[in-house]
Amino acid sequence: MVNKLMQTKMESKRNERGKKSDKILLQTIKDYPGLSQYELARKLNWHSGHVDSSTRRLLLSKQIILRVIERNGRRVNLVYPEDQKPSNLIEIPEELLKTSNPTWKDQAFFYALDNSTIGISGKKITEWTEISCFMKATPIERSSEGKLLFNIPDEFWRFYNLDRKHRVVSINGNNLLVTVSGDIIEEKAYPS
């Protein structure tokens, strides 16, 4: 009887710790979508088993999805919030760019720099114009949450096969670089 009571208390504490871990991991995934489980473990300073357990619970509760990509011959699980589907929209917090500079006023200029890099700038860049395969200007939208919104033009979407590729957006000075890498080979909404 005493052992049963102790076991119940231990399970209850474990469940509370699990829920707390899940909440922390889910918020991190929302803040940094598209990180691998390894990258999440490093960011949170957790053991990989801790991230794996929490990831499995979040998958079962359908709060996250995994996109399995092939990168350099290896399969990598990238973790996203459940509601984040592939989109042609790029969102960047305004404070990360020098938006008071008229550079990011009305238009964004997309450049196909090479077969895996898209450059985005708030102004025409002569060097990028000279080396890019093609370029397109699109209007900049602003959200009520203080984000700049950029729609990836259709010709870029098709050229880079963005419906089947993983992409990473980074800030370089006052410009954006979108690196296209890794084929998305599977998407898991919950363990099969």
Structural domains of the chain ordered from first start? 2-82 (1.10.10.10), 89-185 (no CATH)
Helix ranges (H only) for the chain are 2-31, 37-44, 48-60, 126-131, 154-159
Q: 81: which strand partners?
A: 64
- Over 70: is that where the pLDDT of 7 sits? no
For the chain, the distance separating the N- and C-terminal CA atoms, rounded to the nearest angstrom, is 38
C-alpha to C-alpha distance for 151 and 141, rounded to whole angstroms: 9
Mean pLDDT, the chain, whole residue set? 85
- Over 80: is that where the pLDDT of 189 sits? no
What is the mean predicted confidence (pLDDT) over 37-64? 92
C-alpha to C-alpha distance for 90 and 110, rounded to whole angstroms: 12
CA 58 to centroid of chain Cα atoms: 17
pLDDT score recorded for residue 100: 54
C-alpha dihedral, 47 to 53 to 54 to 59, nearest 10°: 140
Please check whether residue 109 is in contact with residue 123, taking contact to mean a CB–CB distance below 8 angstroms: yes
pTM of the prediction? 0.70
- Over 90: is that where the pLDDT of 12 sits? no
Q: Which of 15-24, 25-34, 83-92, 120-129 has the highest mean pLDDT?
A: 120-129
- Over 80: is that where the pLDDT of 190 sits? no
- Over 90: is that where the pLDDT of 3 sits? no
139-167: per-residue pLDDT in tens?
A: 999 888 888 889 999 999 999 988 888 88
pLDDT score recorded for residue 86: 59
φ and ψ of 48, to 5 deg = -65, -35
Please check whether residue 155 is in contact with residue 127, taking contact to mean a CB–CB distance below 8 angstroms: no
C-alpha to C-alpha distance for 82 and 78, rounded to whole angstroms: 12
Residue 88 pLDDT level (bands cut at 50, 70, 90): confident
99-135: per-residue pLDDT in tens?
A: 555 678 889 999 999 999 999 999 999 999 999 999 9
pLDDT score recorded for residue 169: 87
